[in-house]
Amino acid sequence: MSFIVKPSQLRDPAKPPTDLAARSLKNWYKNTNKQLQNYDYQLNYPPFYVPDVCYQVFHIHRYISLEQLQTIIAHIKSCRSFSIDMESDRYTHELALIQIHTIPSQLPGIVILLELFHLPLVDTILFQQIYSLVQLIFYSALNYINLQRRFKPWIERTLPHSEECKSEHINSQPYRCDCIPHIGTKETWSLQKAVRYACNQFLDKSYTKSRWKKLLDPLYSTLPSPTLNNMTYYAIYDVLAVSYLRRPVLESWDLDQLKEATVASLLTVPLFTFGELEDISDDDINGTEQTSTLNLIHEPQIADELIIHADDLNLLSDEPTVLPSIPTQLLLTKVKSHSRRSIQSRTKRNKTRNSTRRLFRYRHAIRRDLYHKFPMFMVKMILKKLNIQFVHVTRDVNELLIVIKNKHLREQYEETIPMNYFDRDHYIHAKQLLK
C-alpha cells in the first residue's frame, strides 16, 4: 500500500509563496524537495511490502484489555531484539506515538503502537500493566548496538559504482561521487533512501508530519477512514523497515544476499543467538547483567524525521550502555495542556470542522423507506439486533438514512437489510414486541 499523489498536488519549487519569512521559506523548499523525491521514488520503484502474516498489530491505550496486555508481555519475554521508532505531533511537536517491533525467533512478531496521549490514569491497574510492559523493553540491564556508524560504511562499500565513477576516482580516497549519495561526506542516510538503495523499493514518507496525537485504533478513532488507514500504515512500515535492514547491516551482507533473503530470515533472530542467552526473569529486570540487542531511539526529530538517527534506523552505539528511562518518564509525565481559546475562536473552529465532516457524513449511506411513526430509538434497536455497525441514523423526509463507516460494510449490509424493513407492518410488529 502506498499513498497515491497526483501531479497537481505537488509543489513547484519555481513558485514559492511570496509571503514567507526567510526561515519559513527555507523549510518550504526543504519539504518541497522531499515531496518531489517521494513522488519520483513512487513512480520508479515497487512499494516496500511485508506480508500481514509476518506481524500482528496492537494499539496500547486506555481501552486495551488486560488479557491483550498479558499476551503482549508473554511475547516480549521471549524476544531479545526490538526496533523502535517515535513520532511527534505535527503542530505541538510533542512526542505522541512510540512504535515497537519485536524480533522473535519465529514469526509472527508484534508491532506495538503506544499512544501516549490516550493512556489510562496512573493509579489504575491497566496503567501499571502498561508500565510493566515498557520496563520489559527498556530495562536498565540491556546493552544496545549503534548501527549508525555501521550503516553508512556498509551501504557505501556494498553499493556498486558505475564504470566512469571507478575510473575517475580509483586513486582518490576519500572521494565524492554522484552514483552513491552522501559518500565522502558526513551526511546521514534517510530511511527512505536506505530502503531505496539497499532494497530497490519505495518506502512512502507522505504522512511523516501528521496529527499523531489522534487515537489510531480503528475501533475508537474519529479520524476519517482514509486518513486513519494511511497513518497506521505509515507508523507500522516505518518501524518494520528498520527491522528489515537490521541483519544485512550487522552481519555485513552483500546486496545479493539481501535480495535472496526471505522476509522470515530478515524479521527474526537466528536460533543460535538465543542459545547464548538466558530467559528474561524478574531478577534480570531488577539488575542482572544481560547481553541483548535493542534498537532504540533517544528523542524524536520532527525537523529531521527522514534522517537516520536513532529514531529512524535505530542506529545506536556498540558499547554496553545503560538505557535512558525516557519512555518510563513519558508515561508518568502529565501532558501539557493547550492555552485556552476564546469562545469566538472555539466556535469558529468547531463550525469549520463540522462543515468539513458534514461533507463526508453520508458518503456510505443506505436508504430505506421509513414509516412516519417509526421512532429513531426503535430503528437503532432493530439495527443492533441485526448486528449492523452503523455510524449514524437519521430521517430524510420519508426515508431512513443509515450511515456506514466504509464501502465494504455498506455493500454487505445492503443485502442484510430488506427494503421494507421499516414500513407500517414492521412498525406495528416492533411496537408489540416492546409492550
Find the helix packing angle between 22-44 and 191-199, rounded to 10°: 20
Instruction: Write down the pLDDT at residue 344.
Output: 81
Each residue of 313-346: pLDDT tens digit?
A: 343 333 333 334 444 455 555 445 455 667 788 7
Domain count along the chain: 2
Average pLDDT value for the chain: 77
What is the spatial order of strands in the sheet that 390-396 belongs to?
Answer: 365-369, 399-404, 390-396
Q: Are residues 173 and 309 in the same domain?
A: yes
Q: Are residues 300 and 366 in the same domain?
A: no
Residue 84 φ then ψ, to 5°: -135, 140
Instruction: Write down the pLDDT at residue 273.
Output: 46
Q: Are residues 410 and 315 in the same domain?
A: no
Domain containing residue 383: 361-434
Looking at mean pLDDT, say which of 159-168, 329-338, 371-380 comes out highest.
371-380
∠267-270-272 over CA atoms, to 5°? 165
How far apart CA 259 and CA 118 sit, in angstroms, is 40
Find the helix packing angle between 376-385 and 424-434, rounded to 10°: 80
Instruction: Write down the pLDDT at residue 70.
Output: 94
Instruction: Write down the pLDDT at residue 58.
Output: 96
Q: Are residues 428 and 282 in the same domain?
A: no
Strands 95-103 and 293-295: unpaired
Query: Using only C-alpha atoms, what is the Rg of the chain?
Result: 26
Q: Are residues 287 and 170 in the same domain?
A: yes
**What is the residue type of 254?**
D
Instruction: Write down the pLDDT at residue 23.
Output: 78
pLDDT at 306 over 80: no
Instruction: Write down the pLDDT at residue 194.
Output: 87
DSSP state of 307: B
In a domain, 136, yes or no: yes
Q: Are residues 287 and 391 in the same domain?
A: no
In a domain, 420, yes or no: yes
Whether 335 contacts 96, CB under 8 Å: no
Q: Are residues 379 and 287 in the same domain?
A: no
Q: Are residues 289 and 409 in the same domain?
A: no
Q: Of 311, 286, 291, 314, whose CA–CA distance to 301 is shortest?
A: 311
Q: Are residues 256 and 399 in the same domain?
A: no
Whether 12 contacts 166, CB under 8 Å: no
In a domain, 304, yes or no: yes
> Whole-structure pTM over 0.85, yes or no?
no
pLDDT at 171 over 60: no
Name which residue leads in pLDDT, 363 or 275: 363
Percentage above 90 pLDDT, the chain: 30
